[in-house]
Structure 1
Amino acid sequence: GVGCRVARTRSELDWGEGLIYQEVVAGRPASVSVISDGKEARALAANEQLIGESWTGAAGFRYCGNITPLEPHPESDIAGMAEGIVSRLGLVGSNGVDFLLTEEGAVVVEVNCRFQGSLDSVQCATGVNLFQAHLNSFRGVLPERPAIICSAGRAILYASRPLKIKERLLFPWTADVPRPGSRAERGDPFISVLARGSNREEVVSRLRERGDLVRKALH
């Protein structure tokens, strides 16, 4: 979501930047994590995307994490849609499809041919080792659609001011931990926090609490 903005008139587009533009669509951001072998595809989980959440320090269209599974489940079968898209593209390994869930149905935003930011929440919520599933797919072995065993989430924290990390942040529920001596400018992502729980509300509450603990430790 870096650098994304809404252009309401043609004059607001600077054609010298080599822009990619899309129609603005109002909806709930979601994604589906998929493993594929070039012919078939298997959806592992549908995820809520966290976009521009102020409690993470993000704004606008900045991606700031995921909650797995997507709650409540949408009426449209985005898992099936994602499987169809990935298999038709002939992709192999771990892939993701991003959606916006609108009143008229699901709208595809993009396909990510790589490990996705939802990796931590998907592994925790399903118990599936995504790296092993990725390797297995190159041998034509795909997992079954897994059962959801819990709700899980990852939130990316953004710096509200310039930061210098003086010492290692030793929390058991963090990821992407910066090295001591590293710096983050205002608006830069600097660490991720992880949480699990019995439902979405519990996971978001724990992510917010842990985000506050990290910021207090920095102060």
Structure 2
Amino acid sequence: MSVEYLIISESGRALAASAKNAGYEVSVIDRYADRDTVALSRSIHRYEGLHLADFLNDIESYSYLQKLIKYSVKSGSNITAIIGSGFEKRPEQIEIIRKYMPIISNSVKTINLAKDPMKLGKLLAKKSINYPFSTINKNDFCSEKEFLIKELGAMGGGHVSVNSNSLLRKTLFDKKYYYQEYIKGTVCSVVFLANQKTAQLIGINELIKPTQFLTKPFLYEGAVTVNLQDKKFSDEIYRIITEVTKLSKLSGLCGIDFIINKSGIIYIIDINPRPPATFELYEDEGHLFQNHLDCFQGRLPEYIPHNLNKLKGHAIYYAKKDIIAHSLPSFPDWVSDIPAPKKSKNNLEMKYEILAGNPVCTIYAEGVSTTEVKNLLNQRLNEIELSIKSINKL
């Protein structure tokens, strides 16, 4: 019996592209249903609720899921859900999906541990892995020490703020938030494969410094791949991903964000127990979707290092103002996640509607150095910005 996959993620495009490269047919539930994802999938459903993890509570989403199940029975295939981003705040919802179909995902226990900063910090300390001091009690910090305020289980960095009196009044008694020591330095991430026992490094990236919103200084705006030339550094990254894998029983494609401070010390700041956004920068060298599946069978694939002579990067362009238009400009071939129109509230016409602060598209660049890739990404971001501004003037 053949197997089909249902990708459930905030954005399903990268996973759908990787699945297609590996020869699989997929359906997708995500928040965007952009043109690229539509072209890559057999069917797609756009979920517009508050939390993706709650999509089964939505009548249209539930109906879509039932149609997929009926189709799979009729066609003699099995459908399996691939869990991407969007479940970090409510991982228990994954078990509800499991009532309808098999699931490829890290366990609820693993996700909860990865997203529990206090418990995680204590476990990492036992393995001599640095993690910023984190607490739910602001008074644990001395008054002159700078710290960050983060939302538990949130993603994308837009929720992170530096301590300020106005914000403290709002969050001091809110259990959704915690406080974390502010470590300054170069922000990086690592993509790796895991099988609960050991890990295989895929690549390391340097995150792009956020500049699009003054009010969101930690927003994820993109990343650039980097070469591993320092063996001592790469050995330490290998040690970290292996120890984290064993501690939290990670499986599949995963990611870790970390900071290298001015003294060269590595601090883990976040663990993503699901395919991270940056995995697509390494897709050309193999079928990472297939590798992801294999890991859940206990098989850790051998990975051929990516082309060290070619660095890649992607950057997300966010809407600065609400975009409501009947048409968008033509996008170059170095752009993906191109928006698709949706029905207006009266169902009489199709419009493009992108609210301020939401992603518009993803931009790509390649080069022989990190600086070259960053400069090209900035140039292309400016080009897209000018195109979008021309729409808002219409």
TM-score range, shorter chain: 0.7 to 0.9
Tell me the equivalent position of 2:322: 162
Structure 2 counterparts to residues 17-166 of structure 1, below 5 A: 17-18=174-175, 19-54=177-212, 59-69=216-226, 76=233, 77-104=236-263, 105-124=265-284, 127-149=285-307, 150-165=310-325, 166=327
Tell me the equivalent position of 1:2: 158
Separation (CA, whole Å) in 1 of partners of 2:376 and 2:207: 17
Which structure ranks higher in relative contact order (CA pairs < 8 Å, sequence separation ≥ 6)?
A: 1
Tell me the equivalent position of 1:189: 359
* Partner SS for 1:155: strand
* Partner SS for 2:305: coil
Q: Is the counterpart of residue 171 in structure 1 residue 328 in structure 2?
A: no
Separation (CA, whole Å) in 2 of partners of 1:52 and 1:30: 13
> What is the letter of the counterpart of residue 334 of structure 2?
W
Q: Quick one: percent identity of the two aligned structures?
A: 24
- Paired residues of 1:162 and 1:183 also in contact (CA < 8 A): yes
* Partner SS for 1:182: strand
* Partner SS for 1:191: strand
Q: Is the counterpart of residue 16 in structure 1 residue 176 in structure 2?
A: no
TM-score by length of structure 2 reads: 0.50
Give structure 2 stretches of 5+ with no counterpart. 1-156, 342-350
Q: How many residue pairs were aligned?
A: 216
Show CA shifts across 1:76-113 (max 9, x none): 32243123212332111011111011134000101101
Give structure 1 stretches of 5+ with no counterpart. none
* Partner SS for 1:153: strand
Higher helix share: 2
Separation (CA, whole Å) in 1 of partners of 2:311 and 2:293: 25
TM-score by length of structure 1 reads: 0.86
> What is the letter of the counterpart of residue 45 of structure 1?
G
- Paired residues of 2:282 and 2:306 also in contact (CA < 8 A): no
Show CA shifts across 1:136-193 (max 9, x none): 2122322334323120001011122222352374322222221132322333221110
| RMSD of aligned Cα (Å) | 2.6
Separation (CA, whole Å) in 2 of partners of 1:142 and 1:48: 25
Deviation at 1:22, TM superposition (A): 0.8
